[in-house]
Structure 1
Amino acid sequence: MSTTITYVLVSLAFSAFFSGMEIAFVSANKLRVEIEKKNGISGAIIDIFLKNPNQFISTMLVGNNIALVVYGLQMALLLEPMIKLVVHQEAIVVLIQTILSTLLILFAGEFIPKTIFKINPNMALNIFAIPLFAFYIVLYPISIFTSFISQLILRVLGLKKDGANTRVLGKVDLDYFIQQSIDDSSESSEMDTEVKIFQNALDFSSVRLRDCMIPRNEIVACELSASSDDLRAKFIETGLSKILVYKNSVDDIVGYIHSSELFNKPDDWTKQINTISLVPETMAANKLMKVLMQTKKSIAVVVDEFGGTSGIVTLEDLVEEIFGDIEDEHDVKSLVAKRISETEFVLSGRLEISTVNEKFGLSLPESDEYLTLAGWILHVCQRFPKLNETLKIDKYTFKILNVTSTKIELVRLKLEE
């Protein structure tokens, strides 16, 4: 009896070990493994596993199955005499054995070890790297044989096996590594900036042009029929180096003129107009960046689904999505963001909600339906508020300090207790 119990416990422990190491390997951050592979023998061993993932998983499955077979045989020897003291029908005895054995192996050999090993998979791999490698060597011949049989069956059935996955590191691994770095970092000031750049780079592929464009009402443009004196005055007044040129309306932009080209050849400035790309507002920001760099341009016009001009995007706007705000000629310098008390703020309507949340540590609701504070207010109210009007949105109270017929310029935000 005692020998049988020992066999059951040992086989159960091995099953838990192989199940736990399998989930640890699958859940481990591959980038951290790559970074730590030169840190001692454990890192080198894990790197071997990482380069042969299918073989490693196959070896773990073989080891787990061997442990399960031993467990099943020994549990039958252990339970059968005790169950037969109460039940005499063979079918019911087998059924009770199966239920008890299955419940024990599910909790002790699957759920519990997988939950524990998944908490810190990289640490688990490092701790058990050497015994893992020993099992890997011992079970390797059986694993190779079973892999050969499975491939043979697939070929007979006419199914193709996916080729070896040579991709070791991916975007998910980098994202996971960054999140771990944030959690593990005690010095948040310098780390936050560096980590945020990495995080922005990872998220860049999901950014759409409508999220980073300069809106239509802030576009500085000149009509094609304007005189060179008018255009020169606009350059001097705005301080811009490029001004868009349109025909009839801003919805019909024909290109842009550079200040140097105007001042070099002022007689017929329309011949100096540069072509400009028209791109949809749903276009990915990283795709436009590639286009601008390939065409050696720095600006594009964003159009909506109806063909109207939604705004413009510059190369600098795209770079800002990764590295943060970069002050340039197109940026609005009069945006206000002041804290006047613990619960009160004076804010420009053009401020993005994400910027306000980050600057003051707030949790204003963000949505795909709006981007700025003004957009949020208009989305909720469905109208333009009046000057000095007070609006209550959830637990936030807004007082309109400055508004025009087309824009909410300045608001006072108060947080309700």
Structure 2
Amino acid sequence: METLIIVIIIFGLLVSIHEFGHLIVAKRSGIMCREYAIGFGPKLFAIKKGETVYTLRLLPIGGYVRMAGEDPEKIEIKPGQHIAFFLNERNRVVRIVCDHLEKYPNARFITVEHCDLENELCLTGYEEEEGPIVRYAIERDATYVSDNQDFQIAPRDRQFASKPLLARFLTIFAGPFMNLILAVVIFVIYFSIQGVPSADPQLGKVIQGYPAEKSGLMAGDRILEIDGKQTNSWNDIVRYVGKHPKEKINMTIKRDGEQKQVNLITGQRKGENGKAEGVIGVYQPTRQSFLGSVGAGFTQTYYWIKMEFVGLKMLVTGGFNLNNLAGPVGIYNATGEVVSQGLFFVLNWTAFLSVNLAVINLLPLPALDGGRLLFLIIEALRGKPVEPQKEALVHFIGFAFLMLLMLLVTWNDLQNLFTR
């Protein structure tokens, strides 16, 4: 249960921050945002603030910001249609009712000749069967009722497609960008608490049961030499020890102003290249520095961005085992293991997932933010947008393939779970 709660909190944070990026830049650009949703499927909770409905939905597998004009507007009032409407004190239309007119006896009624809710913002028609044509202006924030639900109209200049190319690009890019900002913030918090890694040739925390602890080494010991070779940095220590697995080494250390000699036999572990490397069981030394924590936050985020692209390159070139791909089940299991190791590991894991979400979303694949950005780049190059129907079809097909991939990866997760 603890793992489930933490998974929900982590994914809720990652998705809400991502969608908030889209939302805030869209609103700043003057785009009407109809809904800010966390999750998909049936609504669990909804509250309207201004012109945006904020919803929490059943399936915690993502989220979205529904902007006016991204999809065709639902309402279409045709000539000859009989509708009801309400006027304000300025004699302007503030509400239009498209169906179930009998529920609105206090409304005014009109047989439509022309109704434009995007450009002209006007309604013309006959209030009486043989009467004159009347014309009413429509307020920019007017609403219409369809299937007993109220919707706010979206004038053309409030729709996504009407905005300049740069504004649309930044609106889409803002989601992944906010995930990168979140990763930086989490890493800054982490390093502010844990300390910033230091390059000094000094020992950090000593791990119980490892060669360093057994030989009497202590946190704070400064390593002057190893086997007669001078050490000037932490990396010098790591490199030398790593090259000598299960070997006896001699360290000249400085503790409380005195020099001492320490002999020990290194341990061994499997390195990233698959070869054995030596270990003695100590952490890198750290120092407390706010500015250093900020710098380390950016550095660590950049490191994980690079590692993401390394992994993607290996996936394309065939150097990556597809069985290692993890879906929701795999991430859930990995999160459970991280939770058991403590808060600091959870912070690191959350920041890593935030970077992962940002990078994956920026890939130029249909249905992802990167795919939408690709269409905007194509528009900039050709001087006109791709036809909306064609773009929508590409995104639909891409979304279908992504769902299929999700199912396959989830099946792989389940197989790995039951074959352990």
* Structure 1 and Structure 2 fold alike (TM over 0.5): no
Q: Which has the higher contact order (CA 8 A, sep 6+)?
A: 2
- Structure 1 or 2: larger helix share? 1
- Structure 1 or 2: larger strand share? 2
Structure showing greater Rg: 1
Per the normalisation by structure 1, the TM-score is 0.24
